[in-house]
Amino acid sequence: MQVIKYAFQQHGDERGQLVALEEFKDIPFKIKRVYYMYDTVQGVHRGLHAHRSLEQILICIHGSCKILMDNGIEKKIVSLEKPYEGLYISNDIWREMFDFSLDAVLLVLASEIYDENDYIRDYDEFISFVNAKK
């Protein structure tokens, strides 16, 4: 499984850092939705789903967390701990977010508006979904 991690351009100067993200330039899709998670309770796993078509970029803009990516065959764990790093997650990846630091803020850029029908929340259904695409 290919892990696509972006290192966004940092516009740093003596005042500090700034990162700017534009759709189709820094982000490979039209950004239709932005959401973020914070105050995540210790020990919690979030996510535990895949999508039928949604693409996302995850950025831990403060603190740190880990992302488990599972394509149905292989699993990888990616650490996010830099505010200028973005992890691309395609639709057909089962994802779990965990090991959030107390101060973690996980920002998500999404290619579609929220649609519960796009979620695959059952792991067996996810396996059938990826097998059907082969």
Among 5, 33, 62, 66, binds ligand TYD (CB under 6 A): 33
Closest contact distance (angstroms) between CB of 100 and ligand TYD is 11
- State how beta strands 46-51 and 105-110 pair: unpaired
Tokens of 58: 């995850």
Mask 46-75, x = binds ligand TYD (CB under 6 A)? Answer: xx----------------------------
Answer yes or no whether residue 38 interacts with ligand TYD by CB under 6 A: no
Phi-psi region of 91 (alpha: psi -120 to 50; beta: other; left: phi over 0): alpha
Cβ proximity to ligand TYD, 35 vs 38, nearer residue: 35
Residue numbers annotated as active site:
49
Residue ranges of E strands in 27-84:
33-37, 46-51, 56-62, 65-70, 75-80
CA dihedral 12, 67, 100, 13 (to 10 degrees): 0
Mask 106-125, x = binds ligand TYD (CB under 6 A)? Answer: --------x-----------
Interface positions with ligand TYD (CB under 6 A) = 33, 35, 46-47, 114
